[in-house]
Structure 1
Amino acid sequence: MIYDEGSAMSELQHHAPYPPIHHVAPKNPGVALLASIFFPGLGSLMNGHAGKGIGIFVGYVLSWFLVILFVGIFGVIGFWIWGMVDAYQGAKSWNARHGIVS
């Protein structure tokens, strides 16, 4: 039997002992906060929380409609602040879950 080094190497490559390593990029809490300052809910979207980000934005827009009735200003301010706080905390939490110190 002739020993073929190429086929032995090829067989070794097919049976890697370790799964591939997936690198994740850290989330920047400051960028998430800035995004939410200018567009409420965007920071949450950037952190992968689509439902929460859309909810914050919809609440913010609906509150602006209520401002006409002089009632919604509290909602506008509340949803805006909630969006900023959630964006910042969400980025820090995501980083912590992925072993990234931020």
Structure 2
Amino acid sequence: MNMMKSPGLAAVLSFLIPGLGQIYNGQIFKGLIIIAIQAVNILLMAILIGYVTYFIFWVYAIYDAYRRADKDNKRAGARR
């Protein structure tokens, strides 16, 4: 049985820690990959490009977490 996920909570979790929203949604591997990418981006901030790539992946993680929770909820609702 799939439990309904809060898209808003998933987005907030990824806002706080990119990848955490994916983990909340059950996408453990994807969440860990995003966390690892952001760790590399933090290191890349030493050569400035990290500021751009961190922001891009941060926004992506928030959007993806929200979209996935919403999509899973709609799919679960259609099965009822």
Aligned-pair identity in percent equals 32
Secondary structure of the residue aligned to 2:26 is: coil
Structure with more of its chain in helix, by fraction? 2
Query: Is 1:29 the counterpart of 2:7 in the alignment?
Result: yes
Listed as ranges, the gaps of 5+ residues in structure 1 are 1-21
Displacement, 1:63?
A: 0.4
Tell me how far apart the structure 1 counterparts of residues 12 and 34 of structure 2 sit (CA, whole Å): 15
Displacement, 1:38?
A: 0.5
Listed as ranges, the gaps of 5+ residues in structure 2 are none
Aligned residue among 77, 88, 94 for 2:66: 88
Deviating 4+ runs (over 3 angstroms)? none
* Equivalence for 1:50: 28
Secondary structure of the residue aligned to 1:98 is: helix
Tell me how far apart the structure 2 counterparts of residues 43 and 71 of structure 1 sit (CA, whole Å): 25
Higher relative contact order (CA 8 A, sep 6+): 2
Displacement, 1:84?
A: 0.2
Query: Is 1:38 the counterpart of 2:53 in the alignment?
Result: no
CA RMSD between the two structures: 1.2
| Superposition TM-score, scaled by structure 2 size | 0.89
Tell me how far apart the structure 2 counterparts of residues 35 and 28 of structure 1 sit (CA, whole Å): 11
